Amino acid sequence: MNFSRNLALWVIIALLIFALFNLFQSSNQQMDQSTVPFSDFITAVEEGNVQDVVIQDNTITGTYRDGIKFHSYTPDDPNLISTLREKGVKITAVPKDDSVSFFSILISWFPMLLLIGVWIFFMRQMQGGGGKAMGFGKSRARQLTEKQGRVTFDDVAGIEEAKQELEEVVDFLKDPSKFQRLGGKIPKGCLLVGPPGTGKTLLARAIAGEANVPFFTISGSDFVEMFVGVGASRVRDMFEQGKKNAPCIIFIDEIDAVGRHRGAGLGGGNDEREQTLNQLLVEMDGFSDNEGVILIAATNRPDVLDPALLRPGRFDRQVVVPNPDIQGREMILGVHMRKVPIGPDVEPLVIARGTPGFSGADLANLVNEAALLAARRNKRLVTMSEFEEAKDKVMMGAERKSMVMSDDEKKLTAFHEAGHALCALHMEASDPIHKATIIPRGRALGMVMRLPESDRVSLSVEKLRADLVVAMGGRVAEELVFGKDKVTTGASNDIKQATNMAKHMVMEWGMSDKLGPIAYSENEQEVFLGHSVTQTQNNSEETARVIDSEVREIIETAYDKATAILTDFRDQLDIIGNGLIEFETLSGDEIRELLNGNPPKRGGTGGAAGGDGKRRSTIPTAGHKKDSSDGNGVEPEPQPGE
């Protein structure tokens, strides 16, 4: 079909080119024949210089005796023929040609045909190449088939509760009598809600692979076009397709594109998106019955959806698809590692512990980065070192191998990180140290990473104060080792994180004795002209003064505690600092071995994991960070407790 269509197109193009060639050729031939005035033609005849002529209506073409051709037009002269005969000119008479050639018609209509062709081309493009001249209102839902890669629930891990909710939908499609005998009805709609990358679309594909029923997929943005009424028409056509193939499943990805609150637009409630939503509401639960058509939708913005869309009878179930916990991350890693040749030293549980807050997409990217790194090293297996380095790259950025640090900068960074590490060792509530490094990554010259034993849901006062002490350890170590005049801007990010944490403790979490369990801030994110605006509650001057005093006291208490630890264990600070200078990277076990007098038996690990805290609910790292422009740390700070 496509071949014949393309062949016809090329034939038309060839004919048009041939017609243009003939047109220009004929015009060139006419230009070759010199056009002479009639008076000059009569003079040449009388002088005997004309050899022959061809007369057609009022047109005269002929040849001079020297072989030059000419062209002229004659008025109604009754003496012309007699004059030509007297001078012995050969006369040829040709009848008037009333026929019109095909090419002349084609050339005359060529601009109009070209305009029509361009219009048809763009109209087909706006339809997505559907091949129907008036197919704007047809649904763009595509039926998923086995050829597109079958996905089952075995390929989905780490979100067991969501799987159970959707497995029930699949069981109903396979054996509806099991539920109907007790009066149960299948949910008309299931809404998958969760952060980006958690596997919502993958779950929908797994339902398609398990249910063995027709499965139609469409994006929310496919409904709305530039033409009025197209979105509503496509919704109707989509449900008509579903009824013809019932029982079936229709999956709408990113439904917030058409499901936003009505009345919030500039069209007075009559814009195209709202009409599309109105039609969707009617089709899901209106006067007509859509028995056997199950609608599954996915979004990461459930807060903007219209309440009428979320009520029972339309979306009966809202399935939350969260970021996986440590067991879920281990299972997800197992799924992705099945496609990669893994070395015997790889421990998915250790990798899962080092990736709190990672989504399924993040973990898939981590495994892929490790495989690419092993391929660049010409390895046949992906070992633990590749996974650790891939984790560093994903969380902190690529290693800055081209950066050359001076000996003084290297020493200062080493003791800065040693201060963080030593405070973490002597604070019982702190998370265990996983790695300390002075290898630059991103904007960080070095960092200390602490990994929690398990995922943390809430934070205690003891844990928060321990994190503040660890954050202050870097600045205190610089002061103790190099003096206050040698203190650098490397602790700017630590100070920023500590200040934010102390403000949260005082203003939101009720952890101040003077202010009590009262929330003094209302951080509400509102969108204004496309920008996110934070509205904060205004407090009185006296309350603001007390808040500042409490924040300052919390941070100064942590600073004093860090000073006491590093002063009392100054010898251990020197051991860790000198160890980092020598080995550049030390694991938590190696730091403890160093303090026991057992140095590591290698020249640097370089393969431990690291992080900058962007993905965690606590401050997991404290590092010597330096901006490339002015030395101020500009890393995004974590929001504790989120």
Residue 197 annotated as lining a ligand binding site: yes
Supply the DSSP symbol for 182: T
Residue count of the chain: 642
Q: How far is the C-alpha of 311 from the C-alpha of 281, rounded, in Å?
A: 10
Residues 535, 521 contacting (CB under 8 angstroms): no
Tokens 């640090």 -> residue: 405
Residue 198 annotated as lining a ligand binding site: yes
What are the backbone angles phi and psi of residue 595, rounded to the nearest 5°?
A: -65, -25
Question: Token digits for 444?
Answer: 């960080």
Q: Which residues contact 243 (CB under 8 A, 6 or more apart)?
A: 290, 292, 293
36 exposed, middle or buried (CB, 10 Å; 0-12, 13-18, 19+)? middle
Residue 35 annotated as lining a ligand binding site: no
Residue 57 annotated as lining a ligand binding site: no
- Sheet arrangement for strand 585-587: 585-587, 433-437, 444-450, 621-625
Residues 507, 519 contacting (CB under 8 angstroms): yes
CA-based torsion, 328, 331, 333, 335: positive or negative: negative
Residue 195 annotated as lining a ligand binding site: yes
Q: How far is the C-alpha of 376 from the C-alpha of 193, rounded, in Å?
A: 38
Q: Given the DSSP bridges, would you call strands 531-535 and 524-528 parallel, antiparallel or unpaired?
A: antiparallel
Tokens 């998923």 -> residue: 144
622 sits in which H/E element: strand 621-625
- In 10 A of CB 340, how many CB atoms? 16
Q: How far is the C-alpha of 222 from the C-alpha of 16, rounded, in Å?
A: 37
Residues 274, 169 contacting (CB under 8 angstroms): no
Residue 196 annotated as lining a ligand binding site: yes
In the Cβ-directed half-sphere of 535, how many Cα atoms lie within 13 Å? Answer: 5
Q: What 3-state DSSP class applies to 86?
A: helix
- What residues form DSSP beta bridges with 143? 216
Active site residues: 417
Residue 348 annotated as lining a ligand binding site: no
Q: How far is the C-alpha of 141 from the C-alpha of 227, rounded, in Å?
A: 18
- What residues form DSSP beta bridges with 444? 441, 625
Residues 381, 340 contacting (CB under 8 angstroms): no
Task: Identify residue 138 by its one-letter amino acid code.
Answer: K
Binding residues for Zn(2+): 416, 420, 494
Binding residues: 194-201, 416, 420, 494
Binding residues for ATP: 194-201
